[in-house]
Structure 1
Amino acid sequence: MENTDRPLNAKEASLWLFQVMNPEAVVHVPMAFRTTGRTLRWWPMKVAVDTLVEMHPSLRTVFADVDGAPVRRVLDPSEVDIDVDIIATTADTLMDDIGAFARRPFRFTEEPLIRVGHFVGDPAGDVVCFTSHHLICDAQSNAMLLRTFMEVYDAAAAEQPVPEALSRPVESFTEPPASESDIQFWREHLAGAEKTARPLSIAEPDHGDDYRGSQMVQPIPSATVAQLAAVAKELNSSPHVVLLSVFYLLLTNHGAGEDVVVGMPLDARTAAARDTVGYHVNIVGLRGVIDLTMSFRDWAKHVREQFLTGLRHVRASIDEAMPGSYDSASDWREPLFRYMFNYSPYSSDWTTRYRITVLPVRTAYSRLDLTLNVIPRGEDMLVQVIYRESVYPVVAVERFIDRFSALLASCVTDLDRPLADHSLWSEADRSLGSEADRSLGSEADREVRASGPADQPDLAEVAPGAMLSVRDPYGRELPPGVWGELHADDRALGRQARWAWAGGLETPAEPAEPRSPAPTPVETAVTGDPEVVTMLIGLWRDLLDKDDVKGDTHFFRSGGTSIKAARVVASIKKNLGVKIKLRQVFATPTPAELAAAIATTGS
């Protein structure tokens, strides 16, 4: 029996914390694929799944609780039996059925964090879905699992033995620790970056902060994909980096500013561990400082150099380089970046060989405001945007993807045009303009004539017949849905506005009266039991390894981590018989405050 335990590393602890604090926001890495021209049989699939489980220790991993802190525990293959669930579906309900299967939560301490479903009933072909928790899997792992699954399936279906190369267990891979130079690189790279980057200007004005998410998928035109490949070769780059360069520019065009941090998952596996399944990508924050006078050629070369430099320091994730210095209960919610870019690694060679089509899985949660995934499929590409529903309306995401495709086409067609001169508008924007009765006209003349103050009560000082436009700080006219400064002819009016999706001008609502802040625990009349305060001070000393602890010592500002906070919760339950949530330690991070909260809980 293996049953080996090890503590969580920094990125695992960060993900574990997010999941514990938000149990409804499942953090899974689903993979679904359709087989064409064949009907899959249950028994060969079961043999393939059993082989995968025996090969890869991460698929046999549970997260056990030891003294209040989570540890990774690898089970022996004899203790694990992953079934292949047979799920009836139809062509109309398939994607919803896959999404529901992929979102079902796992029981961390009781079961391995992977499940497999076989969806039957769609005339287009059988569909198989693997879904794993991100703590044991990543997108690169899914690609390896899919390839091995099909190789073993074919052998089992032909009643042949499993290929020898696939019958040997893969050794667990423990990522080497980040060097001081890796950590220092990222700290210098991100120095001065705004911790809570602003939402894009297409966001809802009063958006919420929950993690309910959705997704949208659109193809990139094949002509643009072909041009992208040619440009990547010309620039001695990769499609991945050229697409990232366009994404930075698109974010700037939508109000993210000229200094943008984009999250990116980079593979941290060594050459010897390239076939290891697990959570072995490091999320890094790649910073792009855009000069709109640059040509796209120069900008793409700059992004390439930044990307390659980041790859040399991939050992340090953002959780190690920029550890959370939590000052409040909400700080853990805010990463350094709001946007993520990912290029999915499925190879067209073996997807063609096995007649497989990879399907995007609909997610219901999104931690970040917006993630843009590019999924190559043979000679085609899909753009998948996962977004928070409380931040961006559906029409905004649809236009965002349209503009990405239009901007990509513009950039790869004319590499030497200055960034500022690439159009912000898509064909859908122009069509929407005319349909919404805003008479946008030609590309050079996208202005709306105000018919007078009666129709535009916000614009009483604008003379009838004035040419109205909404412009960004660089003087470029903005498409529908994007906030900017309102102009009449060439005169800036000093007020924010945007063209509404349904037509007409929209100006920001009057700000609500500021609400008085809720009293902090220190300001309340409840005080903690002095003996509890003394006990917590002692606990702080033990966990923080500090002698100078007082009643007002801040747990996280003094070196506390989420794992140590979990030990606080366990110690309180053991010594006081009181159950508190991990969230409470973040909300009341001093002995005095936490003692007061415990007094309230026990009353």
Structure 2
Amino acid sequence: MQSAEKTKPGDGAAAALLAALTQKRRLDAATPKESALWLLDRLLPDAGVNNVPFAVRVAGRLDTAALQSAVDTVVRRHEVLRTVYLDRQAGLVREVLGESTRGPRVEVHESDADVPEKALREFAATPIRCDGRLMLRAAVFRGPGTDTLAVVVHHLVFDAASVPVLIGELAAAYDAHAAGGDLPDVLRGTVPALRAAEPRAESLAHWRGALDGFDPAGLDLDCTRPAPARPTLAGDTVLHVLDDDTRALLRGLQRTLRAPEAVVLLTAFCVLLAAHGAGPDLVVGSPVNVRPPEGQSAIGYHVNTLPLRLAVDPRRGFRELVKEARTTFFGALAHSDVPVDAIAHETARETVSWRDTLFQHMFNYVPVEPAPPLTLGGLHAQPVHVETGYSKFDVELFVQSGPDQLGLRLLYCAELLDRADAEALTRRYAALLHTVAAEPDRPVGELDVWSDEDRTLPGPGTARSVAAPAREADRDLDTFRATPGGPALGLTEAARRAADGTYPYVVHPLDARNVAVVDRSGRRLPDGVRGEVCLVRPDGATHVATGWTGSLRRDGALELYGQAERVARRHGRAVHPERVEAVLLAHPEVTGAVFVAADEAALAFVTLDERPGLTDEVAAHAARLLPRAVQPDRVVRTDALPRRPDGGWDTVALLGLAAAEARTEQADPDGLVGDLRGLWRDLLGLAEPADADANFFALGGHSLLGAQLVQRVDDVTGTRIRLADLFDNPTPRGLARYLRELRDDS
């Protein structure tokens, strides 16, 4: 153990650890809301996804000694900033360190730039761990003529509303220490942490009723890419300022619809999501400050996210939807004392990915008030926007509403959306406000939600309109290339040749004027949005359905997701068998593959040699490349893939093969599957050991129970796995296979 004499005076982290070791410890269990953040940290241990950063820049030099004293002052003053967290076997625990605790050491970094954007982003993205150390970091980035003070605090003890409080106190403490004077009265004394009250029974009942029967599986957008097997939550941001005409229309809508600006904008956001394939039963998250009136200046994590549910029936008008959204919004505010994590596991659904939540899209309405001038030691301090580079949701729309400007900040998951698609979403949102202002009672399913840029995007050879409806005609043919410069092929043959293990398939029309992608109503869709692929007659108006789902890219290529007649529903999601089959066929020893999906099971049938362990290798190959929602539950080896007389796959015969293999399979030579079946039973409260193919999450398991299971697996097997590994292998048989692979690789 390091002695007190060897601890550096400015090393707040070491001091915090020493204080924790020497004082009588009081460890409290974390709340469900805190545990939810911790689980995200465990799933992405190398990412600062829960970091809340802020920064200010001054023209001149900061006194780092005075700044260190200022950081020490505010840490000692606020109990919440002296709160540390520890990862324990039973879950996350919380501890408050003593009032003598010093703050973290203020780092100093030299920079060649006065605005060190890259360095700030890296600093903001560095994870803060639940390891008993303070949950904040501070640094000064010293440029040629400026100093930038950056602070990063973990969301467990901080939120956006805490930023002005903390920066204000830091500035006041810095001024006092730099001048060598006493602290002002406003900084004297300590501030106890603000603890949230237990949710009221009537609020719990409200949310159970509001979310009854909701299935979040219908929230995927038609402009997103398939999720990777191992998401990293890499994110990016698009900024867009609404012009004066749009703001004037919005004010008119508020008066006409008798609804607050936030409700009108929320409803428009839901309509935008529905136009891109989500819903019609939608839940959008909306954060709200739950500080009591007497605690408005409290630092801490005092935000609850309201799961706002709205049915975007395409037959209803915008006015009617706003009326329902207003009722939903104010009802949610009246019951905002319930953290969403306290009820998220009560919905009847199977978790198929650790990203699964009640919502995948966020609406964050932020009223912007003019900030008072801020100085540090007499130097004017200018705010600097800092991004962490992560997005917890597919799309999060921040509406920053000020007296002189209405700005949009779209934070999006870069693994699912291209930047061009994110920019298109912001333009379409602005265009939609104009559309609903002109026709508030027109059914939203008939509204044109596309922007002017969508209507005039030039494709190779022509401009593509998205307004013309499609009309059925006799099936016609166009020609495509599977690769640029390749031979001319029919659509089906081009797609087959493009299936080289990547997904979706990409083909190149010889003439882009002959291809269109349309929605369910037969209207053309803009580039990047999925729909049904149609061939266009020479008259330009009549379309011929091909039976394929796809989207046109901005370079003129066509992405094909699969044949519509083969699309299956699994846990409410659309599953394209061709995608899974292409991944399976990418394995060098697989010569044929068929994927059969249903809610009960997802089976992959492959033709390959009988080499021992090869089937497990193929299953692991699929697990690495496919998201959990479309991974096969089991891979079945066969000598031949049977077909029906009409040429389609004989799924009845294939399922018979799977049943026969299950009866004869010797799948537990080391007893590992049996051990895991017992753990399933113990943690899920089952009367007997679970079936070898029982999905942990389908039986009622959730993230918190999953974290306990991961620890129990370590205790029983001596092999450490991550929570993400359980999501990827949620059955005893599958997890046993994964554990054996880890042992073989070690």
State TM-score, norm by structure 1: 0.81
- In the alignment, the residues of structure 1 paired with residue 318 and residue 137 of structure 2 have an alpha-carbon distance, to the nearest angstrom, of 44
- Residue equivalent to 1:368: 393
Q: Is the CA contact (8 Å cut-off) linking 1:214 and 1:362 kept in structure 2? A: no
- Residue equivalent to 1:140: 161
Q: Are 2:305 and 1:163 equivalent residues in the alignment?
A: no
- In the alignment, the residues of structure 1 paired with residue 736 and residue 514 of structure 2 have an alpha-carbon distance, to the nearest angstrom, of 63
Determine which of 501, 520, 538 is the counterpart of 1:473: 520
Q: Are 2:236 and 1:215 equivalent residues in the alignment?
A: yes
Percent identical = 27
- In the alignment, the residues of structure 2 paired with residue 414 and residue 532 of structure 1 have an alpha-carbon distance, to the nearest angstrom, of 63
Cα shift readout 1:315-348 (whole Å, capped 9, x = no counterpart):
2222212326899884443112221222346532
Q: Is the CA contact (8 Å cut-off) linking 1:197 and 1:337 kept in structure 2? A: no
For the residue of structure 2 that corresponds to 1:72, the secondary structure is: strand
Please tell me the residue identity of whatever aligns with 1:314.
S
Structure 1 range deviating more: 3-12 or 586-595: 586-595
- In the alignment, the residues of structure 2 paired with residue 184 and residue 378 of structure 1 have an alpha-carbon distance, to the nearest angstrom, of 38
* Alpha-carbon offset, residue 576 of structure 1: 7.4
Q: Is the CA contact (8 Å cut-off) linking 1:325 and 1:557 kept in structure 2? A: no
Please tell me the residue identity of whatever aligns with 1:438.
T
Please tell me the residue identity of whatever aligns with 1:365.
Y
- Residue equivalent to 1:256: 278
* Alpha-carbon offset, residue 238 of structure 1: 4.2
- Residue equivalent to 2:463: 439
Distance 1:229 1:597, change over 3 A: closer
- In the alignment, the residues of structure 2 paired with residue 428 and residue 168 of structure 1 have an alpha-carbon distance, to the nearest angstrom, of 58
* Alpha-carbon offset, residue 215 of structure 1: 0.8
Q: Are 2:155 and 1:102 equivalent residues in the alignment?
A: no
Q: Is the CA contact (8 Å cut-off) linking 1:215 and 1:387 kept in structure 2? A: yes
Please tell me the residue identity of whatever aligns with 1:369.
D
For the residue of structure 1 that corresponds to 2:276, the secondary structure is: helix
Determine which of 358, 378, 386 is the counterpart of 2:411: 386
Q: Are 2:555 and 1:502 equivalent residues in the alignment?
A: yes
- Residue equivalent to 1:405: 430
Please tell me the residue identity of whatever aligns with 1:503.
G
Distance 1:329 1:192, change over 3 A: closer
Q: Which runs of 5+ in 1 are unaligned?
A: none
Computed over aligned residues only, the root mean square deviation of the Cα atoms, in angstroms, reads 4.4
* Alpha-carbon offset, residue 401 of structure 1: 2.2
* Alpha-carbon offset, residue 436 of structure 1: 4.9
Q: Is the CA contact (8 Å cut-off) linking 2:246 and 2:433 kept in structure 1? A: no
Please tell me the residue identity of whatever aligns with 1:135.
L
Distance 1:111 1:347, change over 3 A: farther
Q: Which runs of 5+ in 2 are unaligned?
A: 1-22, 471-475, 481-488, 493-510, 564-577, 582-594, 596-603, 606-631, 636-661
- In the alignment, the residues of structure 2 paired with residue 261 and residue 82 of structure 1 have an alpha-carbon distance, to the nearest angstrom, of 40
Equivalence map 1:410-421=2 (5 Å): 410-411=435-436, 419-420=444-445
State TM-score, norm by structure 2: 0.67
Distance 1:80 1:357, change over 3 A: same
Distance 1:112 1:475, change over 3 A: same
Which is bigger in relative contact order (C-alpha 8 A, separation at least 6)?
A: 1
Please tell me the residue identity of whatever aligns with 2:526.
P
Equivalence map 1:502-581=2 (5 Å): 502-503=555-556, 507-508=560-561, 511-512=578-579, 513=581, 514=595, 515-516=604-605, 517=632, 519=634, 525-526=667-668, 533=675, 548=687, 550=689, 562-563=703-704, 566=707, 579=720, 581=722
Determine which of 49, 63, 68 is the counterpart of 1:27: 49
Distance 1:266 1:566, change over 3 A: same
* Alpha-carbon offset, residue 406 of structure 1: 3.0
- Residue equivalent to 1:280: 302
Structure 1 range deviating more: 511-520 or 346-355: 346-355
Please tell me the residue identity of whatever aligns with 1:434.
P
Distance 1:600 1:493, change over 3 A: closer
Q: Are 2:85 and 1:63 equivalent residues in the alignment?
A: yes
Please tell me the residue identity of whatever aligns with 2:416.
V
- In the alignment, the residues of structure 2 paired with residue 252 and residue 227 of structure 1 have an alpha-carbon distance, to the nearest angstrom, of 25
- Residue equivalent to 2:195: 174
* Alpha-carbon offset, residue 583 of structure 1: 5.5
Distance 1:518 1:416, change over 3 A: closer
Q: Are 2:195 and 1:195 equivalent residues in the alignment?
A: no
Structure 1 range deviating more: 380-389 or 53-62: 380-389
- Which structure would you say has the larger Rg? 2
Cα shift readout 1:539-591 (whole Å, capped 9, x = no counterpart):
976x77x6945466987778766556555655676687665555566678799
Distance 1:527 1:105, change over 3 A: same
- Residue equivalent to 1:335: 357
* Alpha-carbon offset, residue 264 of structure 1: 2.0
For the residue of structure 2 that corresponds to 1:334, the secondary structure is: coil
Q: Are 2:336 and 1:311 equivalent residues in the alignment?
A: no
* Alpha-carbon offset, residue 55 of structure 1: 2.9
- In the alignment, the residues of structure 1 paired with residue 248 and residue 382 of structure 2 have an alpha-carbon distance, to the nearest angstrom, of 23
Determine which of 33, 38, 45 is the counterpart of 2:67: 45
* Alpha-carbon offset, residue 261 of structure 1: 1.3
Structure 1 range deviating more: 21-30 or 10-19: 21-30
